Copies of this chain bind each other. A is one copy, B any other.
Amino acid sequence: MVDATLDEAFMRRALEAAKDAAQHGDVPVGCVLVKNGVFLAVGENRREIDQDPTAHAEVVALRRAAASLSGWRMDDVTAYVTLEPCVMCAGALLNARVARLVVGALDEKAGAVGSRYNLLSDPRLLHEVDVTYDVLASPSVALLQSFFSSRRS
């Protein structure tokens, strides 16, 4: 059952993580993982600060959640991401068997969950993820625009 108020509350937490990313010079994207309605892990984009090409918010959060659960399977887990996942992160969510994804803003250039590809809804792959779109998209877009405009100036 989808609880819109709960979805917004967890997405607000993901937006806080996105702000943390911007603080250390990374594109502001955040991800929160929730299992059966209970907070599990949070991650923010850390590519620049860690100089790690795989350290997108979703991968960071999944690694933390797996460490916390002592297990790689994210059954009954919902991922809240402020920006539509890229190919790598969509694949990471599939590999972790995440049950549901809640997306903030769309990424028309590199999004892999509806924009460029729709990788989470392919019955030929080993797993599918239920997706909810457009939860607090506006504050996510505002954060991204502010980050890129401050970098240009």
Contacts and interface: CB of A to CB of B under 8 A. Distances in A.
Contacts of A54: 54, 59, 62-63, 92, 95-96
Given A54-B95, A72-B51, A95-B54, A126 B109 contact: yes
A43 to B, nearest CB: 11
By secondary structure, the A interface counts as loop
A24 interface: no
Oligomeric state, in copies: 2
Interface stretch (A12-20, A82-90, A136-144): A82-90
A124 B119 contact: no
A51 B96 CA distance: 10
Contacts of A73: 53
Contacts of A110: 125-126
Contacts of A74: 53
A72 B122 CA distance: 30
Contacts of A5: none
Contact of A53 (B48, B52, B62): B62
A137 B67 CA distance: 34
